[in-house]
Amino acid sequence: MQVKHNIYFLTLRTHSEIKRFPIIRSIEPVIEALRKTDSIGFDREFTNLDPILAEPLLSQIATPEVAFIIDDVSIDLGEILKDFTHLQFIGHNIKIDYQMTKLNNNIVFRNVWDTMIVDQRLSLGSGRSNALEATVERRLGIRLDKSRVKLFIGMTPDSTITDEHLEYAIEDVLYLHNVRESQRKSIEKHKHELLLYDIEFPLVSLIGDTELEGMILLEKWKEQITYNEKIRQEIEIGLDKILLEIYENQSGFEEHEGLKPLVPVLRRKRRYEKTYKLDLFEDSAISKNANARFINYNSSKQVLDIFRLLGLWIPTAKKKDAKTGVKKVINSVSEEALQQYIIDYDTVLTPFIKELLKLKGVIKGLDSFGERFLVSKYKVYKGGRKDQSKIGFKNPVTGKVHTLYKQAMTETGRLASGNEKIGKFNSQNVPKDNRYRTCFGVEEGFEVVTADLSGAELVIGASLSGDKRLLELVAGDDPDVHSPLAEICYDEITSYILNNIKGERQRKELEELYEAAEYIYGDERHEITQKRVKEVLETGHFVLNKETAKDIRDKFKNVSYALPYGGGVERIMDILNMANAYATIVESTLKNELPDFFKYLEGSAKQGVENGVVYFNSRTNSRRWFPKAMEANSRRQRLSFADQGAIERESKNAGIQGCLQGHSKVLTELGYIEISKIHRKMEKPMKVWNGNKWCEFNVLDRGSCQLAQVHLSNGLMLDCDTRHELLVVTEERSSFKKVTELTSEDKVAMSMPEPMDVGIPPQSFSYKAGVHNSISFDYQPDSELFYWIGRYLGDGNMYDYRLVIVFSTKPSDLEALARAETYFAGFNPKVRKVKENLYEFTVNSKGLVKLIEAQGFKQNKTAKTKRIPNSIFSLPLEYRKELVRGFMGADGWLGSRITLHLAQREILVEMMRLLRTCGVASRLHGPYKYKEFTSYRLDISKRLYLEHMEGIKTPNTYPQTYATRAMKERFAEHYKYKRNLFKTGSSERSLFNRMLVHDPRDISVYKLKEMDIEGAIEIYDYDTFEKLVVLEEEAVTYTLEVKDLSHRFDSEGIISKNTQADMLKEATVDYFYQYIQPNNLEERVKFLLFVHDEIAIKIPKGEHHHADKLKFHMSQAANRYLIPSIKMGAEYKIRKTWIK
């Protein structure tokens, strides 16, 4: 693709180096071009990546026809743009261009299209480059020359501008309109209109404003540096003591003699006026440096030597080689390596390693949250010398500290923060500790509102999983959902300690468990810990909540947050700083307490692996790609364990779905409805049948995919696509399996046939006669009409506005014929004997035929082309039953067996599905060949037919589908304390007793369903997979997002599988555009920070109603992503500073 523009350079200065660009001296041509367009490509060149420090050099503007490069040194861009802020500004990473324009030209524009953000959101997790040159090449096939990217580095407003500068600059805008049109198609394809047009684009300028606002860092920050330095010193002295104790308390362990060369150093009192250098011994440093003063525990080399001196295994970690990309095992004392070492080895150094880990945290705090926040530049000390200068976080122009947000760069679409290279601190990395947070303040006359969503991860988890206990917690009056979970887990650990550990060790274990947080300093920390232990020893229990143990509760909150992201025992150990055995108790307790939540996580984990993509929510259709999984699947290869584990962890917080063809029917409260019709228009809320209960749902358009058909041995067929998953049952469990991986041994689950009393009656019908001998009538179709439609389907025809039904001379048929004459008496029916044993019943009525056509049946259909229309599946139960009775009366055999034997396989399959909605199971056999004829037989369960169609209970056997061991065990577990529900001496009591002792004898799933009085057990019918037919065509397919932990829904009798960073973004956009902007509050209410599920704003002192509005918009936005029965609230605090 070639894009041609007339390009002009607008300047008032003399540029002798410009030869290839026409120079204009007036802004009028630019203004004239802007009057003729509704959008412009926009970009700027400047001297610094920090817009506050940068000086503008050039601005580039392009319409579809003409482009301008503007000399910012001699031209005021504000004069050009002041009347055109309503235009759409298209840019690639346009936020910084917006900031430069606001700061230097006092121009604010909010109607933007960011081509970088579009491709970032479309490709989350893909790993592909979304730089301008990559985007243009990918979308337009044009290669940009960005080898001159450093042209503007080091320039000043007085620097010479050349043709090379202009050529480089103008490429940033020439192709933006064409890229936008290409992206527009992708946005429509992936249903990202809401996400990008209503959330991401309006957010760009708001983030830009937030970054420019910044916060004042208060002088008390220095107190934190002093405090952390004091803690560091205490820990280092403590580490010396631990090593000295190891040496002095050897108890015969000769290997501890290895520490002997360190003893003089360990006994020497540390002084902190100076920092000394130490190398370790013998062939390393101790013997080489006789003047060594103390051990530097921040030196990896020296710490590793301690392990060697004691003859212990050396801690290791895997590190990727920068050149080859291959991970190699290296010796390491990183936090991860030391944490893993404690898990793997119980050594004499375990107490030392625990304290060393604390020291690393303090040193990290000194480095990350130290002097660099107080200055614009600071010195980094290495080897005892001031040998490196770095940019600090204090802006020399504003005197504030500022952050930077990457709007869509993360793999989940969350905001990322910080850029140390240009002096922007990471707001999301500041500890949730008021010792740090209260150092960030605002100007006099203003206050800070800190608002966050209440228990966001757990509320979302409750919405997705339907876990009853979690729903109780999030729906309760107390917004604190973490304390009850923490208390239960700590109670279990406490009980274990009290029952299994005695003496002094018991108290020590309890002290470690209930130890007050490190930020509680000195004697107070010890007193709090002892008070907690005393309560436990006296009562066997500790009341754990925000008031009694906020430090433990807050730490445990991170466990709650880690669960949706795949956190297991090791993560719990890390967060709570506890032993493996206790972390295991925490995990098992949570799994027992929240069983359905964990089932949901486990069911979701494999979806990213199998599909290569996960969907975060159905509101914005946000998705995250896993290219490694996609590549492995396309090559039919297995992922490495590491890659699979990573993908499973990242997939756990997003449900994923299979896909059905548009005409496939889904069982809803209104009957079986084509999934595409539900997708196009769902006039009022409906529920879907998941095989055991009714569940709320959304319909998702999954885009185009290759189509397929799944065939089961009972004759059922499901139209789907190659991504679809079906529920497969084994003796041990049920699990979803991709249709492309099914084998002949797989048993596919089906919902139990049940008389589904759902659906809506047909609409009333009016017919106005057009001729004098025709009959006009108004009629509300009753169920009996559908009996006669069933007779027509089985043995009749309809043509030239004539209905004909054939009856035999059997007594039952003659009785039916008499009923027909009575029912249709008003239409003057005719009866004639056409053969010795056949009667023909005829009604000549255009109105009657049109009435039947209105129910979905068409004229001129032959026996081969008759079908049961989809509308029948949406009728109430009695209407469906009457149609079945009519069909059976015409073509069925009701004797020792009940069967339908026809040449038309298609109508038998439809009848099979219709029978299931009436509670009747059946099985299709055939084809059978006789001479040149082919036929099929539908065998219908006599017991279920007589029971549900005729109301007759019989001793006939149930269909021979037997309950799996898992079904029987779940049944026995649920009813073991309710055996009185089954009458003593009854067959049900006998069967139940057999299940209690794990008797292997068979029990029909139908009998088990009959016995499941409380409807508490997931019981499925099932049949064997026969074949998969992959079609040579693609089409749009659909799925359901089922608001239930099972994520299952009934698709034509077969159980299928279905399918939150956007919340905070949407809340921000709503608050600004629906409250701040309409009320002209842009200069009074300012966004300050975005931290995970938290927003901080600046408001005038005392004007707290602004905080109420923020709380309202945060709650409102969040609840759009949840099921209706759950509400997520927001909380806020107002202080002079940022606060936890």
Count how many residues are written for the chain. Answer: 1140
Q: Which residues have C-beta within 8 Å of that of residue 128, sequence separation ≥ 6?
A: 134, 138
Domain regions of the chain by residue span: 6-190, 221-368, 475-593, 657-752+1020-1057, 765-949, 965-1011
Strand duo 112-114 + 88-91: pairing: parallel
pLDDT in tens, 805-827: 999 999 999 999 999 999 999 88
pLDDT of 254 strictly over 50: yes
Summarize the confidence of residues 303-319 as an average pLDDT.
88
Instruction: For the chain, give the percent of residues with pLDDT over 90.
Output: 40
* pLDDT per position as a tens digit, 353-385: 989 998 998 888 888 888 889 998 866 544 444
CA dist 918 and 788 (Å) reads: 18
Average pLDDT of the segment spanning 269-276: 57
> What average pLDDT does the chain have?
84
The whole-number average pLDDT for the span 259-273 is 80
Q: What is the pLDDT of residue 895?
A: 85
- Measure CA of the first residue to CA of the last residue in the chain; give whole Å: 53
pLDDT at res. 829? 93
Cα Dmax for the chain:
125
Q: Is 657-752+1020-1057 in the same CATH topology as 6-190?
A: no
CB 393 within 8 Å of CB 372: yes
C-alpha triplet 82, 84, 85: angle, nearest 5°: 85
pLDDT at position 481: 80
Pick the more confident residue, 910 or 700.
910
Say yes or no to pLDDT of 521 above 80.
no
Q: How high is the pLDDT of residue 275? A: 38
Cis peptide before 869 (omega within 30 of 0): no
Residue 163 in this model has a pLDDT that exceeds 90: yes
**DSSP notation for 196-226:** IIIIIHHHHHHHHHHHHH-BEEPTTHHHHHH
Beta strands in 244-371 (DSSP E): 316-320, 327-331
pLDDT over threshold 90, residue 717: no
Residue 82 has pLDDT above 60, yes or no: yes
pLDDT in tens, 582-622: 999 999 999 898 888 887 776 665 566 666 777 677 788 88
Q: Which 8-state DSSP code applies to residue 251?
A: T
Handedness of CA 601, 604, 610, 615 (dihedral sign): negative
pLDDT tens string 1101-1115: 999 999 999 999 999
Q: Which CATH class is domain 6-190?
A: alpha beta
pLDDT at 411: 80
Buried b / exposed e across 899-915, counting CB within 10 Å, b at 16+?
bbbbebbebbbbbbbbb
pLDDT, position 639: 64
Structure tokens at 194: 């809401």
DSSP state letters, 569-634: HHHHHHHHT--HHHHHHHHHHHHHHSHHHHHHHHHHHHHHHHHSEEE--TTT--EEE-HHHHHHHH
Span of 113-122, 640-649, 1062-1071, 1076-1085 with lowest mean pLDDT: 640-649
> Quick one: which of 407, 411, 415 has its CA closest to 115?
407
Return d(Cα 798, Cα 821) in angstroms, integer: 17
Q: Which pTM was predicted?
A: 0.61
Residue of 118 and 383 predicted with greater confidence: 118
| Res 1099 pLDDT > 90 | yes
Query: For the residues 735-754, what does the mean pLDDT come to?
Result: 84
Q: Which residue has the higher pLDDT, 594 or 250?
A: 594
Lowest mean pLDDT among 121-125, 400-404, 419-423: 121-125
774 within 8 A of 784, measured Cβ to Cβ: no
Q: Residue 636 region, left (φ>0) first, then alpha (ψ -120 to 50), else beta?
A: left
Report pLDDT digits (tens) over 788-798.
999 999 999 99
* 639, two tokens: 């992922």
User: Residues 180-185: what's their mean pLDDT?
Assistant: 96
Nearest to 785 by CA among 846, 848, 845: 848
**Sorting pLDDT into bands at 50, 70 and 90, what band is 701?**
low
Structure token digits, residue 236: 């280092």
3-state percent breakdown (helix, strand, coil) of the chain, nearest 5: 40, 20, 35
State the number of CA atoms in the 13 A half-sphere of 121 facing the CB: 30
Give the per-residue pLDDT at 165: 94
Burial of 300 (0-12, 13-18, 19+ CB in 10 A): middle
The single-letter code of the amino acid at 242 is: I
Give the span between the Cα atoms of 276 and 550, in whole angstroms: 40
Q: Is the pLDDT of residue 323 over 70?
A: no
Most confident of 204-208, 833-837, 1092-1096: 204-208
The matching CATH number, chosen from 2.170.16.10, 3.40.1260.10, 2.40.40.20, 3.40.50.2300, for 657-752+1020-1057 is 2.170.16.10
DSSP code per residue over 906-937: HHHHHHHHHHHHBT--EEEEEEEEETTEEEEE
At 1000 the pLDDT is 84
> Which comes out higher in pLDDT, residue 574 or 333?
333
The two three-digit tokens of residue 654, written as one number: 């997003």
Backbone angles phi, psi at 1075, to 5 degrees: -130, -60
What distance in Å separates the CA atoms of residue 213 and residue 508, rounded to the nearest whole number?
Answer: 50
Mean pLDDT along residues 53-63: 97
Name the architecture of domain 765-949: Roll (3.10)
